Amino acid sequence: MKYVKLIISFVLTIGVFFILNTKLGSIPPIGKFLNPYSGIWQNETTETTSGDISIPGLKDKVTVHYDDQLIPHVFAQNESDLYKAQGYLTAKHRLWQLEFQTFAASGRLSEIIGEKALDYDRTERRRGMGYGADQAIAYMEKHDKETLGYIQDYADGVNAYIRQLKPENYPVEYKLLDYKPEAWTPKKTTLLLMYMTKMLAGYDDDLEYTNTLRLLGKDNFDLLFPDFFDITDPVIPKETDWSFIDVAQTPLPNSKAVLDTITETISKPHPDNGSNNWAISGAKSATGNPILANDPHLGLNLPSIWFVMQLSTPKHNAFGATIPGALSVISGFNQYIAWGETNATRDVIDWYKVEFNKDRTKYKYDGQWKDVSIRVEDIKIKGKENYKDTVLYTHHGPVVYDKNFKSDMELAGYAMKWIGHEGGNNQKTFIELNKAKNYDEYVQALQYWNAPAQNFVFASTEGDIALWIQGKFPNKWEGQGKFLMDGSNPENDWQSYIPQQFNAHTKNPDRGFVSSANQHPVDENYPFYVFNDGYETYRNRVINDYFNSKEKFSIEDFKNLHNNNYNLKAAEIVPYMLEHMDTSPLDEEEMSIYNEIKAWKFNNDIDEVGPSIFRQWYGKLYNLVWDEFVSEDTALSSPFTYQTIYLLKNHGEHKFMDIVKTEDKVETAKDLILIAFRSAVSKLIEIREEKGNYKWANYKATYAGHLLQALPAFSRFDIPIGGDRNIVNATSENHGPSWRMIVEMSSPPTALGIYPGGQSGNPGSKYYDNLIDDWAEGKYLQLNFLQSSQATDAIISTLTLTPKN
Amino acid sequence: MKNNIFNFFATILLALLLSFALPWWSVMTAALATSLFFPLKKAAVFFVPFLAILVFWGTYSFILSSGNDYTLAKRIATLLPLGGNPYVLMLVTGCVGGLAAGIAAVFGKQFASYASKK
């Protein structure tokens, strides 16, 4: 009997130990997780920002002053120490995010969260994310050892932090998922840059367009997806003289699209990824100093994508938003210049159909067989055996779709040609911008930048303003790469690149300002082929109209414009919808909602109901118009908003307006407007019953979601902020201005900045999300630009990094 | 009763000391050891070390959390989910440690009586 009791109690003891020490499904190992000496209670702390820390490899002492927003102001004696310190401090405040983003970039999420991420991981690997990062490292090894050296310094800094980190101090996400940080490498920095490239230059609809062309024919395709809309207000002003360009567009070969049926395509980045930036000249500024602003629109996440720092050596002094994993300031200013970026979408992804020989070791090209090269992607999966995915590479790039992935073609595949695989030296652009003193040095810095193409806005204390659209762009023939191309025909390859000096740009234009908001880069007069890559058509016009509306502008005007909620899209279609709807069948409830939107002045402010009615009404209308584009076995993308509105107004009787389902009836735009309105009303009533009202703040319910699938415990919900996509304040549900910056080019410059998050990556820190409320209210932080390593009143504590002997 | 009190404080003290050298399961080791040196009877075998570690972990987590406005505790109490109440999380933390300790003590008791019978 004793014996039995002993065995039972022993088994129970082992059982309890096992259960409390093991991650079961999504439940963390609860004993490890909750115990007060190494579990989450150790993360219940606000970070230390004082003391002395010795770091191996430092050449000299580095002083880090923290202000009351936990912004580090770093004073190093040389660049190598500076980037070590940047790596160290980024790891100190954002370690989990820093690492997680590169796992996401390289398709390694299965390692952390298990098999459910396998499809994602395979997609990222087949997209060639790791391959592209390898190319970037190879390029730097060959051409720019200095930059690679700084990237190594950054890695050394991160690793110095990781090495001294005790398990009880691991960020809480490691404890939740039960894993630990690994060493940082230079390749991780290039992976992070690939991640940005994917986010901003990884969107394309070529395969969807191929299906559309096959189904609807060329005339319809051109009507729905024109290269230029009927209005353009491009980034580079229309009146620009291009006569200095002496290279011609690639002549049109006799090439035909390959009209395959494509069932499914790989996941794409968020279509709203974009930004605003602008700068005004001294003549247009109330103080006589140029003023510059930037606000990148990205997913609203916690920890935030941005980490604000001041980074200085005796030779330069830069301040602004950094991205964990990348060196130097990305959007910011120094003592002489300020710069910021918006995405300059261009079609830099093309697809080629390749045909293989019988054992898939060769592919057809120019009438011959060319060797395929192979990259085996070995994907670790938590709790399971590794998954090995063999990806075939052609001279175009990786064969993303083949019989092993989202396709059933036995001896063919679709290869991806992407500028992201070219291996550039993007990091150098930022390192040089941080040090640049004037326009020429800014232009000099930009030349290294390949992708993602950006509209780099510029202003200097010397009084110049400028905007360059910088990226490495193929010089395409008319229409090249809009659709799937035959990969065996050399004429379909990218023939050459647009010489960098012929990238579109403008310096000190007569109108006294430069601006960009992801709209068309140029008008039809630019001598190279530019395909409409989903260009924005609303924010740009609101911004440009604003700067044309009066003579002088102040910082206050800039703030107002950042927070401008005017919905130009609604203003252009709602009056038409109201006018062309037959109101006679509407009941009382419908009439009252009709009157609500009629009274709306097109501002997406938080207390308005108009924006919610518009979202519902227009959303339903859009879906009714493009019901032809809903298909389960064919990948399709429906036309852009601007063109939809254009067609509604100008081609109201077109056969696309007809609802396919109703065979006995032919609907027109007018009918759709009424059907959409009535179904919008019933949805709005539902929302009112559920949420109390459908005021915009309630309806939109903006949130900043934690990077781990928006874990509610680590996210912020119901953030009261207006705006929406296509509005200058581009805040939609989970997407919007991820960093707002305004810099006045006084000497030294004075700057404001804010972002929806906080400097700490620790959900247990008060600095984790402390900036969100101010951001939502349209407030800014005054950025304390220290001019020397002497602490000022703004500094609350100082951390010293010293060389370890 | 005296043994109960001795065991209670000895478990806390030993658990505290072992925590510097061992991971979270040091509470199991501590309870196992005290069950051998301060043998208890019946339900007390489980409940005394259970309460000892409950008090120890509960108090320790309270001290860590109260100094930081319970910022993280509130979040973890949402995650688990415990209605966002940090005190419930402390109680749960204490119970988890207590459970592990109590079970280990029961094993210790059985082991002691098995060994002595032999």
Residue corresponding to tokens 């932080």: A781
Per-residue pLDDT tens over the stretch A613-671: 999 999 999 999 999 999 888 999 999 999 999 999 999 999 999 999 988 899 999 99
What local confidence, expressed as pLDDT, does residue A795 receive? Answer: 96
- Chain B residues in contact with A713 (beta carbon < 8 A): 75-76, 78-79
Residue A377's nearest CA partner among A117, A107, A186 is A107
Q: Is the pLDDT reported for residue B117 higher than 70?
A: no
- Chain B residues in contact with A180 (beta carbon < 8 A): none
What's the rounded Cα separation, in Å, for the pair A366 and A488? 6
Query: Which of B53, B93, B117 would best serve as a mutation to test chain A binding (most A beta carbons within 10 A)?
Result: B93
Extended strands (E) in A429-523: 454-460, 465-470, 485-486, 505-507, 513-516
Per-residue pLDDT tens over the stretch A37-58: 999 999 999 889 999 999 999 9
B97 close to A (CB below 8 A): yes
What local confidence, expressed as pLDDT, does residue A632 receive? Answer: 84
Q: How many CB pairs under 8 A join A and B?
A: 122
Rounded to the nearest integer, the mean pLDDT of chain A is: 95
Length of chain A: 805
B92 close to A (CB below 8 A): yes
What local confidence, expressed as pLDDT, does residue A25 receive? Answer: 83
Sort strands A72-75 and A307-313 into parallel, antiparallel or unpaired: parallel
- Chain B residues in contact with A768 (beta carbon < 8 A): 71
Cβ neighbours of residue B15 under 8 Å, at least 6 residues apart?
B26, B27, B30, B31, B52, B53, B56, B101
B104 close to A (CB below 8 A): yes
B18 close to A (CB below 8 A): no
Residue corresponding to tokens 């007018």: A670
What local confidence, expressed as pLDDT, does residue A1 receive? Answer: 65
Kindly list the distances between the CA atom of residue A370 and the CA atoms of A66, A360, A397, A403, A518, in Å, as whole numbers in the listed order. Answer: 58, 11, 13, 20, 39
- Chain B residues in contact with A10 (beta carbon < 8 A): 107, 110-111
Question: Which carries the bigger pLDDT value, residue A25 or residue A226?
Answer: A226
Residue corresponding to tokens 């602490």: A791
Rg for chain B (alpha carbons), in Å? 15
Average pLDDT over residues A124-148: 96
Average pLDDT over residues A427-453: 97
How many C-beta atoms lie closer than 10 Å to residue A388's C-beta? Answer: 9
Query: Which of A11, A16, A716 would best serve as a mutation to test chain B binding (most B beta carbons within 10 A)?
Result: A16
Model confidence at B118, pLDDT cuts 50, 70, 90, reads low
What local confidence, expressed as pLDDT, does residue B1 receive? Answer: 72
Q: Is the pLDDT reported for residue A24 higher than 90?
A: no
A767 close to B (CB below 8 A): no
Q: Which residue of A lies nearest to B54 if distances are taken between CA atoms?
A: A35
What's the rounded Cα separation, in Å, for the pair A571 and A576? 9
Kindly list the distances between the CA atom of residue A8 and the CA atoms of A14, A522, A552, B50, B115, in Å, as whole numbers in the listed order. Answer: 10, 78, 84, 19, 16
Pull the structure tokens for residue A326.
Answer: 């990348």
Q: Among the listed ranges A15-24, A466-475, A599-608, which one has the minimum average pLDDT value?
A: A15-24
Per-residue pLDDT tens over the stretch A696-752: 999 999 999 999 988 999 999 999 999 999 999 999 999 999 999 999 999 999 999
Per-residue pLDDT tens over the stretch A738-792: 999 999 999 999 999 999 999 999 999 999 999 999 999 999 999 999 999 999 9
B110 close to A (CB below 8 A): yes
CB distance B72–A764 less than 8 Å?
yes
What local confidence, expressed as pLDDT, does residue A26 receive? Answer: 83
What local confidence, expressed as pLDDT, does residue A104 receive? Answer: 96
Cβ neighbours of residue A643 under 8 Å, at least 6 residues apart?
A224, A225, A226, A229
A713 close to B (CB below 8 A): yes
Pull the structure tokens for residue A643.
Answer: 């063109």
**Cα A631–chain centre separation:** 28
A31 close to B (CB below 8 A): yes
- List of long-range contacts for A392-398, beta carbons under 8 Å, 24+ apart: A392/A356, A392/A360, A392/A363, A393/A131, A394/A352, A394/A354, A394/A363, A394/A365, A394/A370, A394/A487, A395/A365, A395/A370, A395/A493, A396/A352, A396/A354, A396/A487, A396/A493, A397/A128, A397/A421, A398/A126, A398/A127, A398/A128, A398/A131
B85 close to A (CB below 8 A): no
Please list, residue by residue across B80-115, b when 16 or more beta carbons sit within 10 angstroms of its beta carbon and e when fewer do: bebebebeebbbbbbbbbbbbbbbbbbbbbbbbeee
Q: Among the listed ranges A179-193, A233-247, A412-426, B32-46, which one has the minimum average pLDDT value?
A: B32-46
> Coil, helix or strand for A663?
coil
Q: Which helix (H) or strand (E) holds A174?
A: helix A172-177
What local confidence, expressed as pLDDT, does residue A531 receive? Answer: 85
What 8-state DSSP symbol labels residue A779?
Answer: -
Q: Is the pLDDT reported for residue B41 higher than 90?
A: no
> Coil, helix or strand for A331?
strand
Average pLDDT over residues B35-44: 87
CB distance A764–B110 less than 8 Å?
no
Q: Is the pLDDT reported for residue A215 higher than 70?
A: yes
Extended strands (E) in A214-336: 274-280, 291-299, 301-302, 307-313, 316-322, 331-333
Residue type, A416: M
- Chain B residues in contact with A43 (beta carbon < 8 A): 72
- Chain A residues in contact with B60 (beta carbon < 8 A): 36-37, 41
Per-residue pLDDT tens over the stretch A661-685: 988 899 999 999 999 999 999 999 9
Length of chain B: 118
pTM, entire model = 0.95
Per-residue pLDDT tens over the stretch A306-355: 999 999 999 999 999 999 999 999 999 999 999 999 999 889 999 999 99
